[in-house]
Amino acid sequence: MNDSQRLDAVFAALANPTRRAILARLAQGEATVNMLAQPFEMSLPAISKHIRVLEKAELITRGKDAQFRPCKLNARPLEKVAHWADRYRPIWEARFDAMERVIEAMKDSKDD
């Protein structure tokens, strides 16, 4: 998988709220599939599908502890997402600055 495909896989994985919640839980420490499934009203096979998507995106790793195979967060792909987003930071900051100037001008004209 090339870098572009990896980034696509990470964004696809992050697009789902259940997967984001699983990652948030794993940020607190490793957990088994059963532990990850507890807060959700879905079947273990459905949770397992979400976990496979996260694994494919390399956002989590699975342990080799017999049948338990605990899941653990791998934050490295998130660093790549942050790096990608940082390339656009000057654009959105400039737009926010411009918007702030417009709002201030509107306030000033309203006060007059």
Number of domains in the chain: 1
pLDDT (0 to 100) of residue 109:
83
pLDDT score of 65: 66
Beta carbons of 26 and 62 less than 8 angstroms apart: no
CATH for 50? 1.10.10.10
Contact 38, 32 (CB under 8 A): no
Q: Which band of pLDDT confidence, cut at 50, 70 and 90, is reported for residue 112?
A: low
Whether pTM > 0.75 for this model: the answer is yes
Average pLDDT over residues 8-12: 95
Give the separation between CA 47 and CA 37, rounded to whole angstroms. Answer: 6
Domain holding 84, by residue range, is: 3-111
With left for phi above 0 and alpha for psi between -120 and 50, is residue 45 left, alpha or beta? alpha
Write down the pLDDT at residue 79.
92
Asked whether residue 99 carries a pLDDT value surpassing 80, the answer given is yes
Reading the block at residue 69, the tokens are 């195979």
Q: What is the pLDDT of residues 44-55, one digit of tens each?
A: 999 999 999 999
Q: Which has the closest alpha carbon to 22: 46, 67, 54?
A: 54
